[in-house]
Structure 1
Amino acid sequence: MVNWAQMYDCYGDVDRVPELLARAEREDEAAAWDELGYRLILECDLVFPASFAALQRLVRLASGSARARGLAGAIVRCAAGGHGCDDLLACWPQQSRSSMGCWTGICGRGRTTTLAAFRDLIAVEGHYHWSAVLGDFSDDFYQVACPHCAVEVTVAIGSYGRYSAIRDWNPGDVERRDLRPAPSEGLSGIGRWMHETAVRDGQVVLADGIAQLFGRAECPRCASVFNIADEYASSNRPLM
């Protein structure tokens, strides 16, 4: 059971969210859903204890409510941020495993035709850091520290190129090195799941970008080669 007395929303209230959830569930009232949206997710993608406390109920409603699916997806996509609720986040998947499986089936029914739906699926799998930052690979950049010399490396994956570089704000990305995409048979874990899902759904650009992201990059400073996804995840994965 959720102890709502400790679950404040963006206004510091502890009683409004459960009341709104009850109204939304009972009457599917648009005004209740709208107020839940701005109480659970503040501008700049800030979330609160009440946001994670509401997830279990939102996921339970997801089969019959697009609003519930959208709000739950938006919350979990914010989970990689500095919200100070990692303890609640760590408990949520264990408490809601059966509901999460149901939601995965709902989101994944047929083809994931939008990037938002794809990111929701990634979040449901618990990889909040990828859900938060994954783009359409038209103009994507990832900042990682070289594990050998600690220099900050910019990884670019987009229509203008796929490379690692040192970012200089005057001349731009310098000392570029081509990325080394992972072959499909070389992917594992979440990278393989993401790639197979994109391929299944005919998302060619997305699948290629994932292969690049889960491939390897050369550090322009020390020439060492490292796994891009491993280094990004190690710095950005939420504490559990």
Structure 2
Amino acid sequence: MTDWTQVVDAHGAIGRVPVLLDQVEREEAPEAWEELWDRLCLQGETVSPASFTALPRLAVLAPTCAQALELAGAIVRGTLQHPDGEVLLAICSDEIAWLRELVDQQLRTRPADYNRTFGDLLALEGQYHWSASLGDFTDDFYSVSCPHCGSELTIAVGDYGCYSAIRDWDRGDIERRALRPATAEELRGPGRWMHATAVRDEQQRLAEGIRHVFGHAECPACASVFSIAEAHTSANLPPALEVS
């Protein structure tokens, strides 16, 4: 049984979260949910030990409560924001698997907030950096370093074009080079199942965007060609988690 007297929330307090969880389990309680969000995922991003400790109870509520499922997804998105996030998350691996299944089921219904829900699925699959950065591909920019010459580059994927460039704050994106999207058959690893999920749910823009960010870019500075996804991962994962 959880000893909540040893678990602090986002405000550094103890004891309030289990009271709120008891309340939302008994009845519809909008004010309690609002306070739970504040204590478990402050401003939509700050998590704490109480956040992860609450996940098993949120998972029980999730099948019939959209608030619980959304809050659980937001907490998992913040895993890397807490120094012990991955350790705390590993304690409730069964609940994470259950939440992942629920979110995937929700995606199959093609909800209006599909992209946010897709981001929750990415986090539940352990793809925290993609969950934090993947947009809707109408106006997406990714900052990466060329792995060959170290130049700072902008990768753009959206209605305005799909290209790599050097960003000049006076002249905008200069020396543009068209991206080289991967084909569906070339996709591997997370890019493959991300694309397959988007195609399954008829999210064409998302599927095309994934093909581009898991494709290749040419560096305008040295003309070398590199994997966008690998460069993005290296730029966004903490050193201990970087892909070698």
* Deviations 1:30-75 (CA, angstroms, capped at 9, x unpaired): 2211100111122372222222222222122210101101111222
* Deviations 1:152-176 (CA, angstroms, capped at 9, x unpaired): 1110001111001111111111111
CA contact 1:177–1:218 (8 Å) conserved in 2 = yes
Counterpart residue identity of residue 230, structure 1? E
1:190 aligns with 2:181: no
Secondary structure of the residue aligned to 1:72 is: helix
In the TM superposition, residue 112 of structure 1 has moved relative to its aligned partner by 4.9
In the TM superposition, residue 89 of structure 1 has moved relative to its aligned partner by 4.8
Judging changes above 3 Å, is the alpha-carbon distance between structure 1 residues 127 and 165 closer, same or farther for their aligned structure 2 residues?
Answer: same
In the TM superposition, residue 111 of structure 1 has moved relative to its aligned partner by 3.1
Gaps in structure 2 of 5+ consecutive residues: none
Structure 1 ranges of 4+ moved more than 6 A: none
Judging changes above 3 Å, is the alpha-carbon distance between structure 1 residues 175 and 198 closer, same or farther for their aligned structure 2 residues?
Answer: same
Which deviates more, 97-106 or 181-190? 97-106
- The 2-side partners of 1:58 and 1:167 are apart by 43
Structure 1 residue aligned with 2:60: 60
Residues 1-240 of structure 1: pairs in structure 2 closer than 5 A: 2-43=2-43, 45-80=45-80, 82-92=81-91, 94-113=93-112, 114-237=114-237
* Deviations 1:52-111 (CA, angstroms, capped at 9, x unpaired): 22222212221010110111122222334x332334355246353542354245433433
Judging changes above 3 Å, is the alpha-carbon distance between structure 1 residues 105 and 208 closer, same or farther for their aligned structure 2 residues?
Answer: closer
Aligned length: 239
* Deviations 1:192-230 (CA, angstroms, capped at 9, x unpaired): 111111111111111111100100011111111111111
What is the TM-score normalised by the length of structure 2? 0.88
- The 2-side partners of 1:93 and 1:187 are apart by 31
- The 2-side partners of 1:29 and 1:207 are apart by 38
CA contact 1:120–1:131 (8 Å) conserved in 2 = yes
Higher relative contact order (CA 8 A, sep 6+): 1
CA contact 2:37–2:44 (8 Å) conserved in 1 = no
What is the TM-score normalised by the length of structure 1? 0.90
In the TM superposition, residue 234 of structure 1 has moved relative to its aligned partner by 2.4
* Deviations 1:113-158 (CA, angstroms, capped at 9, x unpaired): 5211211222221211111111110100001111111121110001
Identity of aligned residues (%): 52
Q: Supply the RMSD in Å over aligned alpha carbons.
A: 2.1
Secondary structure of the residue aligned to 2:150 is: coil
